[in-house]
Structure 1
């Protein structure tokens, strides 16, 4: 059987950008705003790289008896905000952005976020950035968006740090790519435990973008992101184990385990890797450890092909004579 080689260390599909940015994803809102219930699924969003991570484990909404936290009502929350409480101002902004306890009003959302931002509140600065980015409640202004998200990042906001890293990594919104800045901000966010930033940091160390190549450090950060359930990182760690990279002992069964987790989460590259392995169609196929399973191979290759994965389509046609639809 003709063998098909998966991506190697020079071009591992460590998708931080491709998986999210291609769908017009959104900037993430600040994680440390206490009223997390309002952050998740907020309508006042920022079009760019980070919406998917609103569903990141560890950043999910925290159930509360009241969506207004200890304030109990929007009226009391507003009173605190009017009294100069920056955190309350952020919450009022989020309430107006989502329309919780009050009629949705983006202009008021922007106004209250700016009040908090002017008090050097990171969450307020991050929301202001989002308003400028999308033109919600204020005229769209990309330079202002970048300025405010940078302020939020400098104030320690982990999501803002990741947002900047991804922006510089991809060169979004007319901002020139800057690999060193991408690495700088990714490292900041990764050290605060952000799984997507950890995944990006692993990519930087793997490819030498913004930092000297280091497979061991790439594996280290990819493992951290994988442990938090990041599908792309799980897939990447599968490749590390399958090929014995980054100081890891080759373990194809461990690779299969990781690929399956990522594949079940919808990662097309993991689906392709899993299907190819079950088909015995990759260079590191080990018949003593992996039992060929053509039904499983077909299932996972089809799932990848259904997502537009070209190599999965080619493999399906070659092995199973299935002409995948475009």
Structure 2
């Protein structure tokens, strides 16, 4: 059942009253309500923000209609809101429209050229997801000619904003194509940064790099900690590596490695949609 003509129209016309806290604006109120799963309050706050001209409010409304959170799923309403907010240059909406064209979803025909154009606009606006996605198009030659230099430049832009996939992609590319110690060091640094956010791939690859530095006790302890954390996060090769390392380590060293793993606190990273 389509609800664009009823619920969404009422929301966008401002016919639903929205209480605004004294300390925060509608967007912040909406996010807090959303995190608490108070979807009615979230929808009203986002609608208030969108009605006041804040594109971010329209973007979050679109997400709610797309995912059916607090409302019935309505692809038409979601796409219309994405397009409206994209017209104002809102980067996350541009990236979402690009993904629709790339995948061919929500009633939008697959079109790699359109995807490239929307990704380009969002990437120029600084959206790290769009920077990575556009880099992938250049890397694979979809919607554009292959351009590895352009792909790497975009991956680096995204990685500079701690985009996890970009960090891991660059780490893998530098590791695979390493022609010098400097290339291997770049790979290690990218994986290490990913590991700091608790990513399984970054943790596992950092463990491998740790062992490459030597087979002494300190390196074994550090590698065990990394493999342990990677295994806990579901890396497919980490558990075997952890077992092999456990079998050759002294009990005191294992105790220290496990204590260090227990004390690990991942950095938080904000990912766009």
TM-score, length basis structure 1: 0.57
CA deviations on 1:4-57 (whole Å, 9 max, x unpaired) are xxxxxxxxxxxxxxxxxxxxxxxxxxxxxx68x99xxxxxxxxxxxxxxxxxxx
Deviation at 1:230, TM superposition (A): 0.9
- Whether the 8 Å CA contact 1:204–1:213 is kept in 2: the answer is no
1:108-187, aligned counterparts within 5 Å? 108-132=77-101, 133-169=103-139, 171=140, 178-187=147-156
Aligned-residue offset at 1:242: 0.5
- Give the number of equivalent residue pairs: 220
Secondary structure (helix, strand or coil) at the match of 1:187 reads helix
* CA distance in structure 1 between the partners assigned to 2:62 and 2:193 by the alignment: 34
Specify whether residues 144 and 278 from structure 1 end up closer, same or farther in structure 2 by C-alpha distance, changes over 3 A only.
Answer: same
Does 2:35 match 1:63? yes
Higher helix share: 2
Q: Is 1:227 the counterpart of 2:199 in the alignment?
A: no
Q: Which structure would you say has the larger RCO, counting Cα contacts within 8 Å and 6 or more residues apart?
A: 1
- The Cα of 1:139 is off from its aligned counterpart by 2.6
Aligned to 1:189: 158
Over residues 108-154 of structure 1, what are the superposed CA-to-partner deviations in whole Å (9 max), with x where a residue is unaligned?
21111111111111011012112223321323323212321222122
Q: Tell me the secondary structure at the aligned position of residue 69 of structure 2.
A: coil
In 2, distance between residues paired with 1:250 and 1:168?
A: 41
Cα offset, 1:99, TM superposition: 2.0
> CA 1:63–1:102 in 2, change beyond 3 Å: closer, same or farther?
closer
Q: Which runs of 5+ in 1 are unaligned?
A: 1-33, 39-60, 280-286, 292-326
Shift of the 62–252 alpha-carbon distance from structure 1 to 2, 3 Å rule, reads farther
Give CA-to-partner distance per residue, 1:192-245, whole Å, 9 cap, x none.
122332222222332348x99522222222111111101111111111111118
Alpha-carbon distance, 1:290 to partner = 5.4
Match of 2:241 among 273, 279, 282: 273
Q: 1:41 — aligned with what?
A: none
Corresponding position of 1:95: 64
Runs of 5+ in structure 2 lacking a partner? 1-26, 252-273
Q: Give the equivalent residue in structure 2 for 1:315.
A: none
Aligned to 1:241: 210
> 1:78-123: per-residue Cα shift (whole Å, max 9, x none)?
4543554312221221121122343221122111111111111101
> RMSD across aligned C-alpha pairs, in angstroms?
3.4
Q: Which residue of 1 aligns with 2:185?
A: 216
Relative to 1, partners in 2 of residues 1:102 and 1:181: Cα closer, same or farther, differing over 3 Å?
A: same
Q: Distance in 1 between matches of 2:51 and 2:106?
A: 22
Instruction: Using structure 2 for the length normalisation, give the TM-score.
Output: 0.67
